[in-house]
Amino acid sequence: MPTTEPLATALLLALFGALLVVSVLFSRASERSSIPVALIFLLIGMLAGSEGIGGIAFEDYAFSFRLGTVALTLILFDGGMNTPLASIREAIRPAGVLATLGVVGTAALVGVGARALGLAWPLALLLGAIVSSTDAAAVFAVLRGSGVQLKRRVGTTLEVESGINDPMAVILTTAMTEHALTAGGIEPWRLGLGVVMQLVVGGVLGVIAGWLGRMLLTRLVLPAGGLYPALTLGLACLAFAVPTLLYGSGFLAVYVAGVVIGNAQFPFRSGLLRVHDALAWLSQIVMFLVLGLLVFPSRLRGVAGTGIALALFLAVVARPLVVALCLAPFRGYNVREVGYIGWVGLRGAVPIVLAIAPVLAGVPGGERVFDIVFFIVVVNAFVPGATVPWVTRRLGLESRDPPAPPAVLQVESLVPLEGELISFHIDEALAVSGARLRELEFPPGAAVVLIVRGRELLAPRGDTELTPGDHVYVITKAEDRGYIQLIFGRPEGE
């Protein structure tokens, strides 16, 4: 063992731990400034970099790309696991158009704008492809920090679009990178065939991976609860890797697999969701810290004008125009909703990760593209990022859904249990508001087991009165669920 160990490892862990702790602590600033929290992580990485106060010399694009790919895999899998099938069914048509034709249209318009600012066509189209996908996680992080709840249909459209539009951006970026390196470019038919093949292979294998995962989780009884997250982590890795090796879209596959698995009932489900949420946040923090280390502020001065101009063009012209055209055939969206979806299409981690690809491939001007993309992402966090809460209120798109309960009661079990534990929010419009529990008729085997009132946990009694704002937990059999919903309304989280 080298004499420098374990001192060198201790130093590395000290640096990593300090950056991680500082990033999490400074993330509170996003609650007051309405800046996406990921941008805080990115700026901390820059400050710690070779030209910042930390002085950490780092320029390993290959490692950063691999790390970013792993991080995006975990983030997409977590996003899929938290996406109800009902949301997919509700928004798949408009979100699917936005995630395919919308991505292509955005890439084309930004490419035209970049060409007008002096970039050669190959680099301009490559730049457009890199920044063509959106990140709803950034939108919802801003909304959560400001306490604003978005209307269900608009929020679902943004969420599903962001979950399935990354594969198209990856495919376009790969194609445009090849185009920039190939004399005479690539034939349009090859590009179209490649897009179809990647989407079909990724989608089909994602469904297969998801169903196999469901079978394992529902039928396999593991000796310890801690093994279940290890199993789902392995499934996520396989769901990305196998389709990618077979020339499919691994990013689409891992998202689809997450949706299929997340909509099943299996042991420790709620615990697994928390584990993957933590992994997704850790991935996001680490990824943005590393990408921040890659940035050299001295190089940004040379592309500041181009980056700002393209960021504003993307936010004010390209994205809103493409969204309006894509959603025009869907009559369910009014002008305010279309305008909102067009305005809040924030860019996140994917463009910065994709911007590394041309640098690794040796595309002439690749580093300049990387610097411009960084500028676009940062500016996009402020315009429109910082305006998201204000625009949501101004357009009247706040949701009237009840707030999340301050406490969550869950049952963890190694084996499937007969019966369900369901939570309901007591609204003043409900018939049961103001009623006492003994006045309600419950089916045999059904009962209220807990009431959360503010910060107080109440033990239900016959004379307990249900008041507006209460969160009521009811245990019932599956066949009586419909009757319970007639009493208390729609369950929370549905």
* Bigger pLDDT: 26 vs 160: 160
Residue count of the chain, please give it.
494
Q: How confident is the model at residue 206 (pLDDT cuts 50, 70, 90)?
A: very high
Residue from 352, 369, 307 nearest 177 by CA: 369
Please give the backbone phi and psi of residue 49, each rounded to the nearest 5 degrees, phi first. -75, -175
Q: 343-385 pLDDT, tens per residue? A: 988 887 789 889 999 999 999 999 999 999 988 988 887 888 7
* Separation between Cα atoms, residue 105 and residue 63, nearest integer Å: 31
Q: How confident is the model at residue 128 (pLDDT cuts 50, 70, 90)?
A: very high
Q: How many C-beta atoms surround the C-beta of residue 238 within 10 A?
A: 18
Q: 82-126 pLDDT, tens per residue? A: 888 888 888 999 999 999 999 999 999 999 999 999 999 999 999
Q: Is 35's pLDDT higher than 70?
A: no
Residue from 277, 27, 47 nearest 142 by CA: 27
Q: Where on the phi/psi map is residue 150: left (φ > 0), alpha (ψ -120 to 50), or beta?
A: beta
**Crossing angle for the helix pair 85-97 and 152-181, nearest 10 degrees?**
50
Confidence (pLDDT) at 241: 97
| DSSP β-bridge partners for residue 398 | 150
* Separation between Cα atoms, residue 214 and residue 221, nearest integer Å: 13
Could you tell me whether strands 447-453 and 420-425 are parallel, antiparallel, or unpaired per DSSP bridges?
A: unpaired
Q: Is 238's pLDDT higher than 90?
A: yes
Could you tell me whether strands 471-476 and 456-458 are parallel, antiparallel, or unpaired per DSSP bridges?
A: unpaired
Q: Where in the chain is the domain with CATH 1.20.1530.20?
A: 26-394
- Token pair for 160: 């599903």
Confidence (pLDDT) at 439: 92
Helix H or strand E encompassing 255:
helix 250-262
Helix H or strand E encompassing 487:
helix 481-488
* Separation between Cα atoms, residue 215 and residue 230, nearest integer Å: 16
Single-letter residue type at 293: L
Q: Is 277's pLDDT higher than 70?
A: yes
Single-letter residue type at 388: V
User: 26-394: which CATH topology?
Assistant: Na+/H+ antiporter like fold (1.20.1530)
* Separation between Cα atoms, residue 71 and residue 283, nearest integer Å: 5
DSSP per residue over 431-443, as a string? TTTT-BGGGS-PP
**For 379, what's the count of Cα atoms within 13 Å in the CB-facing half-sphere?**
22
Max CA pair span of the chain: 81
**For 154, what's the count of Cα atoms within 13 Å in the CB-facing half-sphere?**
25
Please give the backbone phi and psi of residue 459, each rounded to the nearest 5 degrees, phi first. -85, 120
DSSP per residue over 114-127, as a string? HHHTT--HHHHHHH
Residue 275 in contact with residue 99, Cβ under 8 Å? no
Confidence (pLDDT) at 301: 86
To the nearest whole number, what is the mean pLDDT of the chain? 87
Q: How confident is the model at residue 451 (pLDDT cuts 50, 70, 90)?
A: very high
CATH 3.30.70.1450 for domain 420-488, yes or no, is yes
Q: Is 38's pLDDT higher than 80?
A: no
Residue 409 in contact with residue 439, Cβ under 8 Å? no
Confidence (pLDDT) at 352: 85
- Token pair for 82: 């938290």
Q: Is 193's pLDDT higher than 60?
A: yes
* Bigger pLDDT: 306 vs 2: 306
342: CB partners within 8 A, 6+ apart: 319, 320, 321, 322, 323, 324
Q: How confident is the model at residue 406 (pLDDT cuts 50, 70, 90)?
A: low
* Separation between Cα atoms, residue 67 and residue 352, nearest integer Å: 12
Distances (CA, A) of 190 to 132, 193, 251, 362: 20, 5, 21, 22
Q: How many C-beta atoms surround the C-beta of residue 46 within 10 A?
A: 24
Q: Where in the chain is the domain with CATH 3.30.70.1450?
A: 420-488
Confidence (pLDDT) at 229: 93
For residue 315, the SS3 value is helix
Could you tell me whether strands 447-453 and 471-476 are parallel, antiparallel, or unpaired per DSSP bridges?
A: antiparallel
Alpha helices in 118-187 (DSSP H): 121-130, 136-146, 152-181
* Separation between Cα atoms, residue 298 and residue 304, nearest integer Å: 11
Distances (CA, A) of 359 to 303, 354, 382, 465: 16, 10, 27, 65
- Burial group, residue 342, by CB count within 10 angstroms (0-12, 13-18, 19+): buried
